[in-house]
Structure 1
């Protein structure tokens, strides 16, 4: 059974090669997506080449919904995006994949049902398919070579969906990689200022204030972790000890 996770349906319109359908299934499952709909696959369904290519994502093919036409595949959806390299003179909102998946996330969170259309490998979607969509997803590719493989387009869109729904945060490892708090950075800055003051670094006197300000600005630009702060404190203490021993 498909997962309970709220997500868009990915609709493959008239896909031509089983291998590309299987690769699209793998790409979807990489990012936790398992609502595949397939419209009129050229080589029939089920497709053993798709199964072989899907590898660990074969479940998506077993549960994929098969439709005769695009209208049937999106009939239960209230907002549809069409992935295409160009709008083809149809007046519709145009999103990047990132903006589209953020928009989709908000619509689904509000109770909407969303689908994303992906066209055939050789020529992409026809205007009749695009006309059924509410908005277009246009990937900012090289204009001299705008064609994307079906699985590549699914992968890119799935990645942006995952980014919009799974918050990113610094990796923590027992506090080693936790971001340093501002108080910790402030104490580090004070430690360096005091020791450098003693060493006569802030010279001449009329430039000292500006030099200290520049150092504070330096600390604020650095994405320091707590481990970084501890190490920098240790470096300064060791340098002072070495100087005193000398």
Structure 2
């Protein structure tokens, strides 16, 4: 395990893992490079799974500390900076970095007191765009396009190695100026508040385009790295606008009623 003087490493989140052996292999490489907190989102075969321990090669403390979540939103709720590991940005205008660049960003944010994480998709289908939209950036491994097959444990190992190297070799961290960004839970609350009001206002039209419009809004707002105070301010703006719309509708209803009487 990592030396106590080292910064707390990023949380590793596996979304919809299919094979216990892969979870065990991930735990093994996490332990190799000093990462210890593993979160599982809706693992296909539930948890715990005995076969994971067989491939973890003694990294029992990682598996014993696993936390299970029903959704990516729940798994990232207490994190401030999360990078999604994917080879396909999937039409999201987000920062795309290599594992080395990402490790530096996470190292600096951790030094500023932020909670950090790395999100990995399932073995077969990877990450959904709606889940990527809950993160602050994309980490892509620059592999040769002639053979881009990379298994889950390998992807985690490369990112974990770059984190470890950054911790051991990096110059002093660059501290984030100003207030730290809001947690995933606060950002999700803001997104859902805005989306409810936009639903009421008829913004999402036609209805079949709502999912893509929601994703675009979340990515756009997520890039701004809102602080807790900014989230509160923005939600206040949403509330004020919704109340204003309510007053306008009430006046129109009153005029209509007066005209009918």
Normalised-by-shorter TM-score class: 0.5 to 0.7
TM-score normalised by L of structure 2: 0.62
In structure 2, which of residues 24, 31, 34 is the aligned counterpart of residue 29 of structure 1?
A: 31
3-state SS, counterpart of residue 10 of structure 1:
strand
Q: Distance in 2 between matches of 1:113 and 1:94?
A: 20
Q: CA deviation at 1:2?
A: 10
2:158 matches 1:151: no
In structure 2, which of residues 19, 22, 28 is the aligned counterpart of residue 20 of structure 1?
A: 22
Q: Distance in 1 between matches of 2:20 and 2:144?
A: 27
2:109 matches 1:92: no
Q: Distance in 1 between matches of 2:106 and 2:10?
A: 7
3-state SS, counterpart of residue 103 of structure 1:
helix
Q: CA deviation at 1:146?
A: 2.2
Structure 2 residues not aligned, in runs of 5+: 171-261
Q: CA deviation at 1:131?
A: 1.2
In structure 1, which of residues 41, 52, 57 is the aligned counterpart of residue 43 of structure 2?
A: 41
Q: CA deviation at 1:51?
A: 1.1
In structure 1, which of residues 129, 132, 135 is the aligned counterpart of residue 131 of structure 2?
A: 129
Q: Distance in 1 between matches of 2:20 and 2:105?
A: 31
Aligned length: 168
Q: Is the 2:2–2:34 contact (alpha carbons within 8 Å) kept by the matching residues of 1?
A: no
For the aligned residue pairs, the C-alpha RMSD in angstroms reads 1.8
Q: CA deviation at 1:93?
A: 0.3
In structure 2, which of residues 71, 77, 80 is the aligned counterpart of residue 78 of structure 1?
A: 80
Runs of 4+ with deviation above 6 angstroms: none
Q: Is the 1:85–1:147 contact (alpha carbons within 8 Å) kept by the matching residues of 2?
A: no
Structure 1 residues not aligned, in runs of 5+: 169-246
2:166 matches 1:164: yes
Q: CA deviation at 1:36?
A: 0.7
Q: CA deviation at 1:63?
A: 0.5
CA 1:3/1:165 → structure 2, altered by over 3 Å: closer, same or farther? closer
3-state SS, counterpart of residue 9 of structure 2:
coil
